[in-house]
Amino acid sequence: MGYQIDLKKMNAILADLSKTYTIYAPKRFVGDGTFAHIDTIRYGEISDLAEIEFAEKSNYSFKEVLLPISETLFYFTENEMKEADARAKGAIVFLRSCDLHALKRLDTIYLENGAVDSYYKRLRDNTKFILMGCTQSFENCFCVSMGSNQTDDYDAYLKVDGETVLLNSRWEALDDALAGATAKDVVPDFVTENDTVVELPEAVPQALFDAPFWEDYGNRCIACGRCNFVCPTCTCFTMQDLFYTDNGKAGERRRVWASCHVDGYTDMAGGHAFRNDKGQRMRFKVMHKVNDYKRRFGTHMCIGCGRCDDVCPEYISFSNCINKLSALVKEDN
Amino acid sequence: MLDLNTKKIKKNAYRVTKVRGETASRIRVPGGLLTADLLPLIQHIAETYGNGKLHLTTRQGFEIPGIKYEDMDAVNTLLQPIIDKLEINQEIPGKGYTAAGTRNVSACIGSNVCPFATYNTTAFAKRMEKEIFPNDLHFKVAFTGCANDCIKTRMHDFGIIGMTEPQYDKDRCVNCQACVKACKKKSVDALSVENFRIVRNTEKCVGCGECVINCPTRAWTRSPETYYRLVIMGRTGKRNPRLAEDFLVWANADAIVQIVTNTYKFVENYIDRTAPGGKEHIGYIIDRTGFEEYKKWALEGVKLDQRTIVKSPVYWGGIHYD
C-alpha cells in the first residue's frame, strides 16, 4: 500500500516504532575515516530520517546489524554455560536494493546451508527491512550486471522528498501507523544501468586456478581484508574463547568477522597454512563470489555493490578482475 | 651612483648579495601552498627585472636573483597581487614584503594530500603567520602533519607535530592485528594484544595514527580533537647545532599560538641588544636565562588541555663547537 505523509509525522511514527525496534541506517560518521577529515558512511542507530545518508553509498554494509562484528555467543564457568541474551528490541534496517539481495545470501549461508544458525536467526526473525531507492548509480556499482538493481522483497520502501515522505508498505504494523496518511501510488527508484558493466564467466575451468593471471594480485594485495569487511555477502567468522583474567576459570566465546585475505585465515593446528600467496587468496575469494557459490546455490554470491572496489587501498578492482577472468575463460574454451 | 640603506632593504625582504649592484627579492609563501596562477606573476618579475632564474628556498619561498637595486620599487608593485593572494600581513600596501627577522612559517603538505597527516598544516601555518608577522625578531616556526616530521620541525625554534589520540571501539575489532603490525614496524610498538583485544600503551603512543590508517573495520578512529607535540629550540649554525626537544605533548592549538607569541615578549626582554644586526637566536637566549625563566614567560596565561604533558626541565644536546 502506498502513502504520502508529512516528514514530521513520519518521524513521529519512527519514534513510536523505536519503542519496540532499534532503527539502523547508513549514517555519516564525521572524521571517522582512514585519513584525517574523511568521513565514513556506515550503519548506526537513528531516531530521525534526517540522520540517514541517502545521497551516498555506505562504505560498510548493513550486515553488521545481523552479524555483529564481534558477538558474544555464550558465557562459561567450570561446569555451566549460558547463552548471551538476544537483543531486547527488534530491528528496522534501511538499505538499498543490492543489499536486500545480499540479505538473501546471508540467509542462504546461515539458515539454509545445513544446520540453522540460531544466533543469526534470532536477530533475523526480529528485523524489518526498509528499502532506500537509488535515483542514480554510484561509482563502481555494477548491480545491473548482477541483477540486484531491483527488488520487491521489502517490508517497506521509503523516500524523503523535501518535507514529504513517500512510502510503500507491506508491513501491517506500519500500515496501521500510516492509517491517517494520504494514499498514493509509490514506485521505488531503481537504477537500470551502471557505468561499470561486468561480464560474468561461465563455469571457470580448474586449469585457470593456477593461471599466472593471479600472480599480479599476489604482488598488489596487502592482505588487509577491507574488501571482505565491507562486502555485504562475506559471511566468514572465527571464534575467540577467552578467559577472564582475574578469574581464569570463567570466560566467554565470541565470534568475530574473519577475512580470507587476512593472514591466519587458513592456519591449522601445527602451524600449516595452505593459502599463503595473496594471489591465491584473491583467486579463492573471486571464485567463491562468481563461480563456486552459484554451482552450489544457483545464484552468484556477489551482488555488485562495488564497495570492495571503493575501499581497496591498493586500487585492486574486483569488477575488472571478473571481466579479465571472463576473457580468460573464453580464450580457454 | 647607488646610495642605499641596507638595513631598510633587508627589512623589505631584499637580500644584499655578493654581486655589486644586484639584489634578490624573496617571496614568502606561508604554509608552502599557493595557487598556480601566481607562478606567471613570479615568472614575469624574474624575466623583467631579474636574470630569468628562480631559487626555491628551504623555507618554501621563491628568491628572484639578479634584480637591480633601483628596480625594487617596480618589483614591489608587481609583488602586490601575490602578497594580496597569499594574505600576507603587510605594513604598507604596494611596498612589498615586510621584515626579514621572523622567517616564513613553513609546513609539510599536510592533510590536504598526505594520508599520514593528522591536520591541515597550511591552515595552521597561516593562522600563525597572522599572529607573528611582520616581526624583526629571528623566529623559525614549522608545522608538520605527523611524527615523520618531513618538514624537519626539530631544526626550528618551534616545531609543531600533529597527533591524534586513537579511539578504540572494541566491538568493531576483529583482531586482525594490522594495527599491531603497523605500530611495531612503522611506529613505536605501543600496541599489544590481550584476550584478542588491543591494548594501547598510552605512555609510548606518539599519536601518529598508523593504527587508524591500517584498521580495516573502523575499530580505530581519530579523536575529534587534533593534538600537537610542541618541540622547541632546535637550530643549525656555527656554535651548537641541535635538535629541538619536546616541551608539550598532547597540546592544543590555542596554547601553541600563545606560547609562540609569549616568546616574542620573552625575547624582547632578554635579547642581547649588542648582538650583530640586533638578532640573536632564541635558543641562545634561553641558554643564558635558564629554562625555568623561559618557561615562566612561555606559559604565562596559557590554558593547557587537561591531556597536555609539560616536559620540564628541558635539556638540549647537540654538538658544541664553542
**The pLDDT value given to residue A147:** 97
Q: Report if residue A303 sits inside a domain.
A: no
Query: How many percent of chain A have pLDDT more than 70?
Result: 100
Judge whether B213 is closer than 8 Å to chain A, CB to CB. yes
Q: What end-to-end distance do the CA atoms of chain B give, in Å?
A: 42
Confidence grade of residue A202 (pLDDT, cut at 50, 70, 90): confident
Q: Are B279 and B208 in contact (CB under 8 A)?
A: no
Count Cβ atoms within 10 A of the Cβ of residue A100 and give its class: 0-12 exposed, 13-18 middle, 19 or more buried.
buried
Q: Report if residue A280 sits inside a domain.
A: no
Among the residue ranges A42-51, B5-14, B39-48, the one predicted with the least confidence is B5-14
List CB contacts of B153: < 8 A, sequence separation 6 or more: B142, B143, B144, B159, B160, B161, B231, B234, B244
The predicted complex's ipTM stands at: 0.95
**A225 contacts B176? CB cut-off 8 A:** yes
Residues of chain A found within 8 Å of residue B218, distances taken between Cβ atoms? 29, 32-33, 40, 42, 60
**pLDDT tens for each residue of A225-266:** 999 999 999 999 999 999 998 889 999 999 999 999 999 999
Q: Are B81 and B7 in contact (CB under 8 A)?
A: no
Cα of B30 to nearest chain A Cα, Å: 21
CA A279 to CA A321: how far, in whole Å? 12
**pLDDT tens for each residue of A130-168:** 999 999 999 999 999 999 999 999 999 999 999 999 999
**The pLDDT value given to residue A174:** 96
Confidence grade of residue A331 (pLDDT, cut at 50, 70, 90): confident
**Domain B166-221 adopts which CATH fold?**
Alpha-Beta Plaits (3.30.70)
CA A2 to CA A170: how far, in whole Å? 9
DSSP B87-140: T---SSTTS----SSSPP-EE--GGGT-TT-SS-HHHHHHHHHHHH-S--S---
Judge whether A236 is closer than 8 Å to chain B, CB to CB. no
**A262 contacts B176? CB cut-off 8 A:** yes
Check pLDDT > 90 for residue B58.
yes
Q: Are A41 and A65 in contact (CB under 8 A)?
A: no
Distances (CA, A) of B195 to A254, B100, B217: 11, 58, 19
Report how many domains make up chain A: 1
Cα of A312 to nearest chain B Cα, Å: 10
List CB contacts of B237: < 8 A, sequence separation 6 or more: B281
Helix A318-332, helix A278-287: angle, nearest 10: 80
Q: Are B97 and B116 in contact (CB under 8 A)?
A: no
What residue spans define the domains of chain B? Answer: 6-85, 106-163+226-310, 166-221
Superfamily of domain B106-163+226-310: Sulfite Reductase Hemoprotein, domain 1 (3.30.413.10)
Q: Give the mean pLDDT of B254-270.
A: 98
List CB contacts of B290: < 8 A, sequence separation 6 or more: none
Q: Is it true that B6-85 and B166-221 share their CATH fold?
A: yes
Confidence grade of residue A303 (pLDDT, cut at 50, 70, 90): very high
Q: Are B214 and B182 in contact (CB under 8 A)?
A: yes
Check pLDDT > 90 for residue B267.
yes
Confidence grade of residue A332 (pLDDT, cut at 50, 70, 90): confident
- The residue of chain B nearest to residue A312, with distances taken between CA atoms, is B216
Q: What is the grid cell recorded at A97?
A: 536494493
Confidence grade of residue B1 (pLDDT, cut at 50, 70, 90): confident
**The pLDDT value given to residue A2:** 96
Check pLDDT > 80 for residue B321.
yes
Chain A interface disruption, residue of B172, B185, B214, most A CBs within 10 A: B172
**The pLDDT value given to residue A333:** 74
Cα Dmax for chain A:
66
Q: Report if residue A114 sits inside a domain.
A: yes
**The pLDDT value given to residue A247:** 86
Q: Which residues make beta-bridge pairs with A43?
A: A26
Q: Report if residue A251 sits inside a domain.
A: no
Judge whether A308 is closer than 8 Å to chain B, CB to CB. no
Q: Which positions 83-112 of A are in contact with B (Cβ < 8 Å)?
A: none
Q: Are A275 and A266 in contact (CB under 8 A)?
A: yes
Confidence grade of residue B99 (pLDDT, cut at 50, 70, 90): confident
Judge whether B181 is closer than 8 Å to chain A, CB to CB. no
Higher pLDDT among residues A206 and B127, named by residue: B127
Q: Report if residue A261 sits inside a domain.
A: no
**A31 contacts B222? CB cut-off 8 A:** yes
CA A32 to CA A39: how far, in whole Å? 5
Q: Give the mean pLDDT of A110-126.
A: 96
Q: What is the grid cell recorded at B251?
A: 597540546
Residues of chain A found within 8 Å of residue B216, distances taken between Cβ atoms? 224-226, 229, 259
Q: Are B185 and B168 in contact (CB under 8 A)?
A: no
Q: Give the mean pLDDT of B248-272.
A: 98
Q: Which of A36, A224, A242 sits opposite B195 (nearest CB)?
A: A242
**pLDDT tens for each residue of B65-78:** 999 999 999 999 99
* B283 sits in which H/E element: helix B282-289
Edge-to-edge strand order for the sheet containing B226-232? B106-107, B141-144, B158-164, B226-232, B245-251, B309-310
**Domain B6-85 adopts which CATH fold?**
Alpha-Beta Plaits (3.30.70)
Q: Which positions 255-274 of B are in contact with A (Cβ < 8 Å)?
A: none
Among the residue ranges A212-221, B90-99, B239-248, the one predicted with the least confidence is B90-99
- The residue of chain B nearest to residue A230, with distances taken between CA atoms, is B217
Check pLDDT > 90 for residue A11.
yes
Q: Report if residue A107 sits inside a domain.
A: yes
**The pLDDT value given to residue B91:** 86
Judge whether B238 is closer than 8 Å to chain A, CB to CB. no
Judge whether A29 is closer than 8 Å to chain B, CB to CB. yes
**pLDDT tens for each residue of B279-317:** 899 999 999 999 999 999 999 999 999 999 999 999 999
Confidence grade of residue A270 (pLDDT, cut at 50, 70, 90): very high
Check pLDDT > 80 for residue B100.
no
Cα of A263 to nearest chain B Cα, Å: 8
> How many Cβ atoms from other residues are within 10 Å of residue A240's Cβ?
19
Q: Give the mean pLDDT of B249-264.
A: 98
